[in-house]
């Protein structure tokens, strides 16, 4: 039995509406699933506690004088460079040994 073209057109309209509803449901369900996966957020009430008074002890700090030295190294172009460093973060590169010695002396006087 052949269906009427009007009925087929109405079926296509309802199929289109159903697909739109399914797509919207997937989007909203995805958000709900993410909330379910993460779990509900809990509100934790926190009360600030007053800080205790510091004790009357005295502390002694020891300051270490940085020790600088010169390291001979090879630069990126293969040339010899002289690096004045403290072995940690402080460092400077010099092209001559004499200039490195002047930098070393100035750093030792300053510290």
Q: Give pLDDT tens digits for 34-64.
A: 666 666 556 667 677 777 766 666 656 565 6
pTM for this entry: 0.40
Give the mean pLDDT of 59-82.
Answer: 77
Residue 89 near residue 72 (C-beta atoms within 8 A): no
Tell me, what's the pLDDT at 64?
A: 60
Q: What is the mean pLDDT of the chain?
A: 78
Tell me, what's the pLDDT at 65?
A: 63
Tell me, what's the pLDDT at 98?
A: 92
Above 60 in pLDDT, residue 97?
yes
> Which class in CATH covers the domain with range 69-110?
alpha beta
> CA 69 to CA 87: how far, in whole Å?
8
Q: What's the residue count for the chain?
A: 111
Give the mean pLDDT of 20-28.
Answer: 83
Give the mean pLDDT of 53-79.
Answer: 73
Containing H/E element for 74?
strand 69-74
């Amino acid at each position: 039995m052949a269906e009427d073209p009007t009925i087929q057109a109405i079926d296509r309209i309802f199929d289109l509406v159903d697909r739109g509803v399914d797509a919207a449901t997937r989007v909203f369900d995805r958000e709900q699933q993410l909330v379910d996966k993460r779990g509900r957020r809990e509100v934790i009430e926190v009360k600030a506690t007053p800080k205790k008074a510091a004790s009357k002890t005295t502390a002694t700090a020891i300051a270490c004088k940085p020790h600088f030295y010169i390291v001979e190294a090879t630069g990126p172009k293969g040339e010899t460079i002289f690096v004045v460093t403290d072995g940690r973060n402080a460092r400077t590169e010099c092209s001559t040994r004499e200039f490195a010695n002047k930098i070393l002396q100035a750093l030792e006087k300053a510290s």
